[in-house]
Structures are given as C-alpha cells and as structure tokens.
Structure 1
Amino acid sequence: MIHFIRFESAEAVAEDAARRIRDAAGRAIDARGRFLCVLAGGRTPLAAYERLVHGSEDWARWHLFLGDERCLPPEDPDRNSRAIALALTERVAIPPDNLHWIPAELGAESAADRYDTLIADRIPFDLILLGMGEDGHTASLFPGHAISTDVRAAPVHEAPKPPPDRVTLTPLALAAAPERLILVTGAGKREALAAWRRGADLPVARVAALGRTDVLMDPDAAGD
C-alpha cells in the first residue's frame, strides 16, 4: 500500500523522516536487538540524517546499508557513503563494523557480487529509505534500463547521469523490508511525481508497489 503524504516544506519532510527512522529503530531493537536500515543519498535524506545526530540513539545496535553507490574512490565527495559519513556516521558512535557500504571502488561487477553476498544473510531489512530523481528513478534503477530480478545487488552501466558506472539494490532486496520511505522534494521532481501518480511505469513506482511505502512530499514537488 502506498501513501502520499504532503508536508509544508522540505525541512518538515526531513524532520518527519528522521522521526520515522528513530521510531523504526526503536521497534527493531526492542524486537530483535538490532536495526537494519538502508540509506539513500541526496539533499533531503542527508538533512534527515543530520537531525539524527542530536538524538540519544542506541548506535551500537544500528547497522546501515546503501540503496546504491557510484563507482568512485572511497573519499570522493560524490560517493553516497562519503556524504552520509559527513552528515551522520562520523558524528555519532556507530561502530565501523556496522557500516555495510558498497565497495564500488572495485568496479560495478565485483562490487555488486560482493554486496549481493553480504546482504543475503542480513535481509530482511527493517527500513528502506529512498529518494526519487527527476526522471522517476530510485536508487540507481533508471527508466529504460533492464532491472535484474534474480540478484539483490546489480551493476549499472551507462547511467544517464554521471558517473555512468554504479551499483544498485534491485527489487528483490528493496522488497525485503516491512516499510519503505521515499522522500520527494523540489520543483524539479514535480513532473515525475505527477506522472507516477497518474500511473506511469517508472522505476520508483515499481519499487513503491513492493509493499507498504510512505511517500513524503513537499509543496514544490507535490504541486496543487
């Protein structure tokens, strides 16, 4: 089931996303003693992570994963893992062994194989956080690209935005959670969001249809 929820601003989207992450962590830790969360890059997700820094979370029980990664050196500022480190993980006491990043510096095929093996023993996740691009992509699942159905992590080549080589979780992995949050902010997302809501066959629509998904929108993206 998909719920589209409109907020008064991008800041309110980030604030509510942070609250939902905290709540999911509390439920998972109470039930199983650990919290497994897939993170996204992007401006609004990063703003949500920054809001987590000031909480008193049980960080030793958090395990973080990525929905996708760019094939760049580990310290490249365009890496999702690097951006998340600056926003969150270098500012709180999450053990390094709990950061399960995609080794995309190894190249798309090798990194995808390794990540597929790594997450196989760890799914289901407790929460999956995603964004949406202006073309309706999510993670690194792009319109017009074949989507793997038999692996959990797949290489991506010739992405329509740089860098061309990436690694992404596939629907097989993105279905492996009781809930998904998709954050959509900014006027640049309005056309794709409207097309999705009209029933367009976009990657983000396919992922959202995998199970319970809440879509948090700001007015610029939601329009009228």
Structure 2
Amino acid sequence: MPINLLQKDGTTMTKHEFLEELKELLLERGLSAGEAEKSIEFYAEMIDDRIEDGMSEKEATAALGSINEIADKILYDTPLAILVKSKMKQKKETQKNSTLLIILAVLGSPIWLSLFIALLAVFISFYVVVGSLILSVFTVVFAVGLSGILLLPAAVLIISENHIAVMGLVGAGLILVGLSVLLFFPAKYAASGLIRLSAMIIKGIKSLFIGKSPRVQEVVK
C-alpha cells in the first residue's frame, strides 16, 4: 500500500493519521510490532510536545518531516540483532501456513544456520580487527611519547658522566615527545575513519534486513 504524505485537501496529516501511516510503513519494512510501537510512542510524545508549544496537529506532524525519512532513521538506528530477530519472526509467520515451505525450511535450516554463524563470526572479527587497529595506533603514539619523557630523567642521572650522551638523550627525548604530539592528530583522524567505515559497513548489513521504502505519492485532487 503506497504511503501518502498529503491528504486530498492538500493539507498535512493529523496526529492519528501520521502515526498510523508510520506504523504501517515500519511493519511493511520488517520491523516487529513491539519495536514499531515503541517508535510510535516516541513520535506521539514529540507531536504532543509541539502541540503544547502552540502548534496545531497538522503543523506538528509537518514539522517532523517525511514519513519515509523517519522510517529510514528508525530502522537504521535499530540494533542489527533486533532487525535480524524481527525478520526471522516475520518469515516464520509468513510461512507457518505452508507445509511445503516449512519442510524446505527444516531441510535447509542447517545451511542457513551455518551461513548465519559464519556471518556473525565475520561481523565479530571485523569489530575485533577495527578495535585492535584503533588501539594499536594510539598505543604507538603513547609509547613514543612515554619513551621521550623517560629519556629526560635518564639524561639527568648521567649528567656528571658524559655530557655528549646527556645532550643526545635530551635531544632524542624532545624529538620523541614532539613526534608523539605530531602523530596524535593523524592517529585521531585514522581512528575516526575506521569508526566511520565500520558504521558504513553496519549500515550496509542492516540494509539487507530492511525492506525498500515505497514511493511517496501525492493524491491529486
């Protein structure tokens, strides 16, 4: 069923119409009824807050933006585990009246289970690798800075023995401290890049479990 953001008279929707359309869209795109209801309650409160601030119902719903965009945000903000669970539950409910599909599902379940476990292992491994890379980058920066700091008191301990060695240690210490400062910002950007990359990959995985958004159509008077 297409989602219509505009009514026949050209005005925006009332609170009830808005929430019903949003709930229907979330259910169509694979979100469970329980999770959809939580989102509906959240947006109902947002609309009520705007009404308390002096807006009309239709102004309040219009201020929230496109229903399709709101649905996208809700679905992509939903944890992957919940999306997978909702999708599995939806498929079970769709197939429960078909004996043939149930038999095929039972016969194919070991394969799907293996694929799911493999996907989960890849997902966990990816996060472990990304976390390790971020930790390694900052560990190197910290180690370089700490080495430079420790060289300074070491120079003081041998100050009476070898002036050339003292100067070398002090110089090396200052260089390492300065190098750690210079490396901190590239390390920060590298960590941010890895985090953004992981977020993009997670979003891509989520898109496999999120139904396509229907085209928004305006009702012609």
Q: TM-score range by the shorter chain?
A: under 0.3
Higher relative contact order (CA 8 A, sep 6+): 2
- What TM-score results when the alignment is normalised by the length of structure 2? 0.22
Structure with bigger strand share is: 1
Specify the structure having the higher radius of gyration (Cα). Answer: 2
- What TM-score results when the alignment is normalised by the length of structure 1? 0.22
